[in-house]
Every structure is written in C-alpha cells, then in structure tokens.
Amino acid sequence: MKIIIAFSGFIFVLVNLILSSWSVINKDIYYYTDIGRDFLIFDEIATKKLVLVGPRSDAQGIFHGIAWHYFNMPAYLLAQGNPVIVGLFWILLGVGLVITSYFIVKKLFDKKSAIIAVLLLSTYLVEHMQGLFHGKGAWFVLPAYFYFFVRYSQTKKPFDLLGHLLMLGLLIQFEIAVGMPFALLSFVGLVYLMVRSKLFHHIFYFAFLIIPLSTFLMFDLRHDFLQIKSFLSYGQGVRNGVAIPFMISLTDRLHHFAYTGINLFKFPLAQWNLIVFGSFIYSFLKLKKIKDKYKRTYFAFIYFYVGFYLLTLLHGGLLIEFWWLPVSLLPILIFSTLHHYIPKFVYYGFLVLILGVSTFQNINYLKTVTQEMGKKTTSWQFHLNNAKQIYEDAPAEFGFFIYAPDIFGYQDKYAMLYTQRLYSKKPYVFTKKKITYVLIEPPPSFRTSDLSPRWWIEEKLKIKKTPIKTISLGLDYKIEKYELTDEELKIPSEITQADWLFFR
C-alpha cells in the first residue's frame, strides 16, 4: 500500500511539473507588463554590462534591486533573448524550489511533512510558473530565509546567521515591498536572540547586508535620497492617491492574512482558505497546551507571518498582489505539518480535497491559457506576431514608435527588440525615418477621448498625414505605416530614444 501511495504521489508531482511547463511546451509564456520590463532590463544589462538598479516599482520613486535580472542573465544570453527558452530556466527554478522545500521541511519537521509540502507546492506553482517576474524571485529564497532563522535560533552558529542575512538581502533585491518588512522583523528577532544568548559580537554580522543594500545606497546618494523620501510617502498611503482610513487598511490586511494570502484555494473558491486558517488556529491552540519539540519553529512562523502584515500597516494604502503573494508560501509549508495536531481522517481528507480542487482549478486555468495563446496581451506569441508583421513589411531600414495608453509599452518594446534578431533589417528605435511605423495599442473603451493615438501621433511625433498603409491586428491593435518627406523628417519628434527607458 505504501508503494502505491508513493508512486501515486510521484506521478502527481510529475504531472504538476508538466502543467507548470504548459506555456513553455506550447512555445509561449505568460507575458504581462512587468515581465516585458524585466526582459528590457535583461537587454540593458547585455548591452551596458553593468547596471546597478532594478525596475521602478511605481511613480513615487521606489526601485527594486537588480539581483533577479543578473541571476537570469546566463539563461537570457544562452537563449539569445528568447523568452520561451528563458521560461525553461524558470521551470528549473520551480523544480529547485520544490526540492529545497522538501529538505527544509524535512530538516525542521519530518519526512511525512516534507512529502506533503512537495504535493502542495507542486500544485500551487502550476499557475504561477507560466511566467515569472522579479517579485516572484522572493519565493525561491523565502523558505531558506525562514530555515536559517530557525536554525540560528537553535544553534547560534554564525553560518546560519550569515545564511539568513544572505536570504534577507536577496528578498530585498527581488521585491523591496516584501524585503523591507522582513528586514525589520529579522533585525528585531536576531537582536533578541543575540542578547538572550549574550552573543553581542554577532551584531557585527549585520554589516554583511551592506553588500545587497549597496546598490540602493549608491542610487540614493546620486538621486537626492529619492527612495528614502518615497518610503516616507508610502507611510501616508500615496500609492492610492491619498491616505485612506486606518480601518480600511486594517480590514485589507486581515482579508489577506486569513483569506487570500493563504492562497491554497483560488477564486471563486478563495473563501475556502478560511478553513485552512481555522486549521492553523485549532493546531496552535492545541500546541499551546502540550510540550512539543516544534514549538520554536511554529513561533517563528507566527512571528514572521503576523509581523509582516502588521508592518505593512505602516503603508497607509491597500496591499497589492505582488506584496502578499510571495509570503503565501510560508503558510503552505506550515500547513503541511499540521497532521501532527489535527485528527488524521480530518487532515488527510481535507488535504485530498485541496489537491483535488487545486488540480481542477489549474486544469481550467490552463485551458483558458491555451485558448488565449497568441490572442491575448498576456501571451508572448501575441506581441511577437505583431512585431513580425512590421519586420515582414519593412524595408532594409525603418523607424518605429510604439503607442501605449500607459506610456510604457514594455511588452511591445521587447518584442520589437527580440524580433530584430530574426531579420536582417535595421530598425531605428523611436526615430523618424523615410518609412516609419507606429504600433498602436488601443486605449480602454472608457478613455478613448483623452488617450487618442491620433492626437499622440500628430502632437508628439509631429506626423500630421494619413498613413500609406494600415495593418489591423488582433484585439484592435494596429500598425500604421508612414512615408515621410525630407521636410517632415526635419520636424523633431517629442518622443525620442530617451523615452525608451521608462522603467527607470
């Protein structure tokens, strides 16, 4: 019977691995705006060789680190910029996360818990592995971050302390909105352990953080402490336009803490996560009444999980998915250990329900992904095919511009850059030439009056003539081809190559 269960578990994980690779198998990736921006930064690193700051997090001037982008560079260079091949590297990262999580849970708890963690994690990752961006890099270090903290609390060895600080540095680099709350929690927790154990000299190991934080420090020194000022603004909730009432922020945190932030069940069944939350409450209340060798580990989880959401209240606005999603990995790993405290038939019955429902949701999600490949803006193939339309039509040399309602146009920008490698033609980025193309993303239906591409072409590009050709694309995208005279080329465009790097 044990052999049958073990074999079934292996097949289940293998199927989840195949499902995680679904987009890559179909020569596509989930390709939304932040992923397009990451690929533009990959290209920037390949061109400039040394880049010290990552993508801008928002208009208030907070930037992420650059570690995720350098970490991906070997795959990017080997793939010659092909996002689908880089996607293969992401699948390997997912496999690595599952394997390391197995050993971490096994080391902190036991083998049975580790196996359950692998089953849950392999299911959980299916949707998210269709496309990765820098913020999801936090997933790959969060289990090790937690592990080294617990180990340091047990051993007080410098190796575990440095391991924890290294993982903390990577958290800050990958997703600053996740890394900074954990940095405060690490500092308080570690200082408490050092004082309690009278290891005062261990505080000097904090200097190790200068390495991952150095890029932020250099950036602020060169830009009038822009990030520090932005963090102060975040405390006033400026991301949401104005500071919102505290009770709204608190309700938002509680919603994520006990509901969406657990994320084992996804919409429209997300409310079932409350049952998972209830299992935590039941187990921890039971744990409080008994002697248990895992108490310290559970306390560390409560400290970091509760502490993270409490510290996010310092930002007076609402949490966005990119901030809470990486943290959802912790309750998943801890839930895998609760079979010690919940009646067996209840726990394993609920576990089968979670795995079954999650698999059903994953399959439905991938059906939608398959139907949308090459047809939706979140498909790499959609943007690649649009770019190919320009190169197929273009002469040996041409200029091009990209109109996007959000100004940025990251997805189309990188698609144009990559497609250049497939053709022996010379494009001029955001430059008017005798033959000039404008790739137009349609504005939202409720913003057509103030986000008119025609106004942008006439007033920003200074092209006030009818295109000689219009190529209609899917989703109301279109390409306009212009043939400009020498006199028209002399009129400078307000959109230049300097506007290419809006992610800075």
In residues, how long is the chain? 504
Q: What's the rounded Cα separation, in Å, for the pair 37 and 412?
A: 10
224 Ramachandran zone, left/alpha/beta (phi>0; psi -120 to 50): left
Beta-carbon count within 10 A of 201 CB: 9
> Given this model, what pLDDT does residue 210 score?
87
CA R_g for the chain:
25
Q: Which of 459, 301, 446, 414 is nearest to 38 (CA)?
A: 414
Is the CB of residue 361 less than 8 Å from the CB of residue 263? no
Q: What is the pTM of this model?
A: 0.92
Q: What's the rounded Cα separation, in Å, for the pair 195 and 201?
A: 10
Is the CB of residue 128 less than 8 Å from the CB of residue 97? no
Beta-carbon count within 10 A of 112 CB: 14
Domain borders along the chain are 2-371, 380-500
Divide the 504 residues of the chain into consecutive groups of 10 and give the mean pLDDT of each group: 81 96 98 93 86 60 80 96 98 97 97 97 96 91 97 97 96 89 97 96 93 74 66 56 76 91 89 94 91 92 97 82 90 97 96 96 96 96 98 97 88 97 95 97 79 90 95 96 96 84 58
